[in-house]
Amino acid sequence: MEKTKKLQITDEITKLIDSASALYLTDFSGMTVKQVDDLRTEFQKAGIKYKVVKNTLALRAIKQSLNYAKFEDKLHTFLKGPTGIVFTGDDPVSAAKIIKKFYDKSEKPKLKVAIVESEMYDSGQLNELSSLLTKDELIAGIMFCIDSPVSGIVGSINSLMRDLSNVIEEVAKKNAA
């Protein structure tokens, strides 16, 4: 590969790394073309980027990265063999859920390491990562908590109004009789 092409790929990967909220390094060895295509499709649906690049170029991009350069020494050991890099968008957990879903079906791809919120997670912690709530699930939970007291207040006011109207109706019936 020419030097200019290598520099271009390294710059592209560096930009992806710097814009990612989390990185997942996977071992995709043994996966069929269809399995990789299905995995890419799931990632695309979730707004996640997935790239397979040479390990040396990935390491150079990590060194140049603003957010992940501090992990260079640790990631060096994981950048061996076939490596796919997952770059998450706003939701760092959705990628773990997708990887786990595929892994449960065929034991592929294998998670090498993940960096989420400046913490490294090894392959044994995939279950832990995938069990976390996604951004959308967290927002829904917060909205439910905010909505619950309001719904309770509205229900209480409605029952008070109903009870008051029943009392007025009974008083009116007594006075009419």
Question: Distance between CA 71 and CA 78 in Å, rounded?
Answer: 11
Question: Distance between CA 10 and CA 148 in Å, rounded?
Answer: 49
Tell me the per-residue pLDDT of 3-41, one tens digit each, with 9 for 90 and over.
888 889 999 999 998 888 889 999 988 888 999 999 999
Q: Residue 27 in contact with residue 107, Cβ under 8 Å?
A: no
Tell me the per-residue pLDDT of 122-161, one tens digit each, with 9 for 90 and over.
877 777 777 666 666 667 767 766 766 666 666 667 666 6
**What sections of the chain are H helices per DSSP?**
3-19, 33-45, 55-64, 72-76, 94-106, 126-131, 135-176
CA distances from 75 to 41, 61, 93, 104, 170 (A): 26, 12, 20, 25, 78
Mean pLDDT, rounded, for 50-55:
91
Mean pLDDT, rounded, for 37-47:
91
Per-residue confidence band for 177, with pLDDT thresholds at 50, 70 and 90? low
The pLDDT assigned to 137 comes to 66
Number of other residues whose CB lies within 10 A of the CB of residue 146: 9
Tell me the per-residue pLDDT of 53-93, one tens digit each, with 9 for 90 and over.
899 999 999 888 877 778 888 888 888 889 999 999 888 88
pLDDT of residue 52 exceeding 80, the answer is yes
Instruction: Please give the model's pTM, rounded to 2 decimal places.
Output: 0.72
Higher per-residue confidence, 1 vs 55: 55
